Amino acid sequence: MSFFRLLTLLCAFLLSGLPGRPVLAADLGVQTGRTLAGIIGYARWPVEPSYFRLCTAGYLAYLPGNGASLAPLLDRKLLIRDVTDLSAGWENGCDIIYMGALPLALQRQVIKMASGRPLLSVTEGDLECTAGSMFCLHAVDGEIGLLANLDAISRGSVRISPKVLQLVRRRQETSSEKSSPGARAQPRQVAP
């Protein structure tokens, strides 16, 4: 077992016992798959791939089966591989990197290694979306929320349609309408 895989499993184990960790609903994987498929649908690569190469890293709490549930939601074939060990050249074989539970330093290393490549990046659990991924998913009370890192999106070579950003805004407004009077929605947060 590689050092990175062992470190990832250890972090996932330690994080799972933290107080205040949200209880995940049975359909969390379905929500995550739909959200991720929506993001992919709004993405445009410099050279459109004939099939998507999804690379995963870390323990995936929100996307069970290493992302296999995503395949039926896409208009193209999906190839999935785990790159948690970050073997040399992993970033050349990916169109999408989906990071689960990884230490912040390792998340930043992944983003740095992928810099300059046409790679859509999504991270689980980065509540402020500051590690460098384009999009961050988080679960609260069994619901998936979405954050967009506009800086990462603007620097990336994968173009994201402004419609996904309108979706982020629109869902944020819907979320704030559902909350109690006087409550404010989190910046850029999207409720399903």
The CATH number that applies at residue 9 is 3.40.50
What CA–CA distance (Å, rounded) separates 125 from 127?
Answer: 6
**How many domains does the chain contain in total?**
1
What value does the mean pLDDT take over residues 86-108? 85
pTM value is 0.73
pLDDT-based confidence at residue 4 (cuts at 50, 70, 90): very low
pLDDT at position 149 is 92
pLDDT of residue 173: 56
Determine the Cα–Cα distance for residues 107 and 178; give it in Å rounded to an integer: 33
Identity of the amino acid at 57: A
Q: Tell me if 188 is assigned to some domain.
A: no
Identify the domain containing residue 36 by its residue range: 3-178
Q: Domain for residue 38, yes or no?
A: yes
Q: Judge whether residue 154 has pLDDT over 60.
A: yes
